[in-house]
Structure 1
């Protein structure tokens, strides 16, 4: 009875020892809590952990140990821990690189488990893949999964980075097998894939042996979506390659940048004489970013010409001096000609328009309906620019030319090439084609027509999806659609979401549900994701087909830019 009493009152003979044990437990819990917090912060900010050594109190011991030392200046728990480590009182201090790596893996595994749980709850998901070389020149692939997250209080369309994968076989078959094995390892069913988004590489998008074809063979509901931003890049690339004059134009832009950037003295001269917008190098992969390269010259051409003149007269480097003189005086290979200024205005207008649409399409929450509106607007702009842009660009180029004392016209007259089947008695005057007309036909019209054609071809897939899901995106059209039209679209959607004998929805029941739903939807609901929030009130009951249709629709992306952004810069 006395022992029982002492145990209840903590009055046993080893009371002092137990207090010391509990005190030590509390100390280590507090130490580990701070170490976990520091590891989380460094990982979240993408900061390096280690330096050239792993000892407290020494220079270059890395961010992790430096912050531990900083904690010790203010926090009594870490101050005591550091004292024990430095005094050799303890052997296990939990500050080594092994522990750091173990904690990173533990935290990463926990985050990944939470992400996979969200994806499993969402059921339907889309995979986004992109590949690049890492620092060790090994091909790595980023896996992004997009789904409708219904685990939060408010429904959200999320794109989760899942993992990096080392690629041994870059063929369509090799990438597809790697994707399948990864999904199996993550406990995700490939039958639940409702979309796939890649760049325009043949091993990814190939219609015969690419990843998209192999996935569609086993799951026809895995809708393929080309990356909208990458397609815009390729459209711009098509435009630039369609004309030799355009190729020469961008060559001049890059030569100007290289001339000033290759020397710190010349770069300083540029800042002193030009200031304002700095020169930018041309990017081979992000064509829409070239608007920044053109902008610096478009709005500072007179000052840049003055800086080039100064280099041509005063530069000590003979090569740079010759380049500067050629760039400032040549009418065909420099900024001294009206043709270059004319092309500069045209390209800036086109690049600015494409860049604006590209930025919108990189938004995480843009949907197919809005993307198509943006693309149609861009095509409409290009068609209008084709009719009126030449004269407007010519007027702007003349203003710039006059400020630079450049003759604002095309002086030479050339003979138009006669085709073999043309009449011999053709009037000689009609055979004469001015330089301005030739510039318009061979340069302006060629690149604008190429832009229109490329955009229409590359975005045909979005129009197909709009035909399939468009009636669900636009709630105004949904409410105003006739019963026959609505029924036909619901049946068509059932067919699109069918694989074998199974379909995600029943088209006729979807039609009946929407007929009721469109009459009870509150007027303040304007977006598709808000419809899901409304349906969640009924927990999927009453509108099960509508609930599934909207979730599948919102998994389809416009851009695969999130995969590219996942790579370290």
Structure 2
């Protein structure tokens, strides 16, 4: 059954002009390295991107040479040529993106048009991690919140006490986000009565103290303000229909939004909301801060901010600058220039702007895929008939075949490798500690059937049985022919 699905996918992909490679590795419950291979291709009829899992392979190590060998083996089995590959999308590990012997470098040496993209989803996680790690206020607030969650969830008594308090406030609300510091104080006081371990009691007292400080409230509010934009970007980037060029544009929109927040008016609104929350939750007043002595030069007295708002305004701007710089640094990838040239070529042609520079960059790399003179002619046709492109038939689109080829190059380049990540979730369901000794072929076939549910449901069971019986003379003699 799994092989029938693979044959169907291979048959559909043969009609696609270009494709892109995606892969990722993980460790299963048997402590074996599993490599998942996926391919992004374009539907021949409507030029819509499709991302399909091709298989899961057990590998002895995760070196670049081993992974490249598995990729080549998969291409041979699926009857694909690397010369049709126009993109690669992996994580940022050294074995994948290494500049000398990484997987991306080895494939680029053989096919220079297979542009490498560092998975945007991984890049965003790294950018947020870098920003939080270097900004102490938000980092301390998140550490305190994590400590509170451990204190509550790892103790049945404290968890039961929390549940009792929560039901008295909002029984239908999950979690413990509804409690204010006053209620948390009740929880800590109840917990200290039956805690005998001095270390645990000290952690409870420390969490109780932190919840009453304005610094913690400011860190949580600022972290929520910043991380909600990154979380919204993360959800958008996980779409399998998203191309690399579209992903970069979405990232730039998020960065522009964060730049808008870096304004005195926006901070005043944030500060006003923070003061209302502080009054409502009975949090201590903000304390007057001074610049750390290590930053002061000379023998003058340390400089104090006139009001606490000035100090926290500086902290507010610093956090926004950190997240913006981290995102820009992680998403400034070498292949982005070519993505931008492909996109700007069509946009400038539609607007009537000069696109000669973009045309030269695109045709120099894709000289075997595009005819420069024909492409320029078809761009002129696109400019004159842009409003009618969506309504034209397939035959009429052949009039602008070079423009369609550029569009295919844009759409086939992946932005994220979330398909591989989702297959790892399926692996955890298929291979558990109670069922961790199945052979690799069975695991691979079960994974394909599970991931491609729609194709599995559409299989003809009679046809599957016929293939199973006809593959063996003994089975054919026992079961005979199926009609």
- TM-score higher than 0.5 here? yes
Match for 2:364 among 464, 483, 495?
495
Residue 316 of structure 1, CA deviation: 4.6
Q: Which of 321, 324, 328 lines up with 1:449 in the alignment?
A: 321
Q: 1:335 to 1:454 in 2, by over 3 A?
A: same
SS of 1:129's partner is: strand
In structure 1, what is the equivalent of residue 235 of structure 2? 359
Quick one: higher RCO (CA 8 Å, sep 6+), 1 or 2?
A: 2
1:413, CA displacement in angstroms? Answer: 4.4
1:467 paired residue among 340, 349, 355: 340
Mapped to 2, the partners of 1:418 and 1:118 lie a distance apart of 64
TM superposition shift of 1:412? 5.3
Q: Does residue 1:235 correspond to 2:127, yes or no?
A: yes
Change (3 A) 1:369 1:196: closer
Stretches of structure 1 that go unaligned for 5 or more consecutive residues are 1-106, 280-295
Shift of 1:193: 0.6
Which one of the candidate residues 152, 163, 167 is aligned to 2:59? 167
Q: Which of 393, 404, 424 is matched with 2:270 structurally?
A: 393
Relative to structure 1, the CA distance from residue 265 to residue 431 in structure 2 (aligned partners, 3 Å threshold; closer, same or farther) is closer
Counterpart secondary structure, 1:209: coil
How far the C-alpha of 1:487 sits from its partner, in A, is 4.0
- Distance of 2:400 and 2:346 partners within structure 1: 17
* Pairing 1:337–2:213 present: yes
Q: Does 1:132 align with 2:26?
A: yes
Query: Equivalent residue of 2:399, what SS?
Result: coil
In the alignment, the residues of structure 2 paired with residue 304 and residue 127 of structure 1 have an alpha-carbon distance, to the nearest angstrom, of 53
- 1:418, CA displacement in angstroms? 5.1
In the alignment, which of 511, 515, 523 is matched to residue 376 of structure 2? 511
**When the two structures are superposed, what TM-score results if normalisation uses the length of structure 1?**
0.67
CA displacement at 1:263 relative to structure 2 = 2.6
Measured on the aligned residues, the alpha-carbon RMSD in Å equals 2.8
* Structure 2 unaligned residues grouped into runs of 5+: 429-483
User: What secondary structure, in the 3-state scheme, does the structure 2 residue paired with 1:251 have?
Assistant: helix
- Shift of the 402–139 alpha-carbon distance from structure 1 to 2, 3 Å rule, reads same
CA deviation after TM superposition for structure 1 residue 367, in Å:
3.2
Local SS of the residue matching 1:130: strand
Structure 1 pair 412/358, CA: closer, same or farther in 2 (3 Å)?
Answer: closer
- Pick closer, same or farther for the CA change 1:265–1:473 going to 2, 3 Å: farther
- SS class of match (2:355): helix
Q: Which residue of 2 aligns with 1:121?
A: 15
Of residues 372-381 and 557-566 in structure 1, the stretch that sits farther from structure 2 once superposed is 372-381
Q: In the superposition, relative to structure 1, how do residues 432 and 512 fare at CA in structure 2: closer, same or farther (>3 Å)?
A: closer
Match of 1:268 in 2: 160
Taking the aligned partners of 1:156 and 1:312, their CA distance within structure 2 comes to 57
Conserved? CA contact 2:349–2:382, under 8 Å: no
Q: 1:272 to 1:116 in 2, by over 3 A?
A: same
The answer for the alignment partner of 1:284 in structure 2 is: none
Q: Does 1:478 align with 2:349?
A: yes
Judge conservation of contact 1:468–1:496 (CA < 8 Å) in 2: no
Correspondence 1:542-553 to 2 at 5 A? 542-553=399-410
Residues 82-110 of structure 1 show CA distances to partners (whole Å, capped at 9, x for unaligned) of: xxxxxxxxxxxxxxxxxxxxxxxxx1000
Cα separation, 2, equivalents of 1:444 and 1:521: 45
Bigger-Rg structure (1/2): 1
Structure 1 Cα separation of the partners of residues 352 and 284 of structure 2: 59
User: Deviations along 1:201-240, whole A, 9 cap, x unmatched?
Assistant: 1211222221111111110000111111111111110011
| Residues 109 and 198 of structure 1: CA distance in aligned 2, closer, same or farther (over 3 Å) | same
- Aligned ranges for residues 364-379 of structure 1 at < 5 Å? 364-379=240-255
Residues 260/448 of structure 1: CA separation in 2 closer, same or farther (3 Å cut): same
Q: Number of residues paired by the alignment?
A: 419
Shift of 1:186: 1.8
1:325 — aligned with what? 205
Aligned partners of 1:438, 1:417: CA distance in 2, in Å? 17
With over 3 angstroms needed to count, the CA separation of the structure-2 counterparts of 1:518 and 1:415, relative to structure 1, is: closer
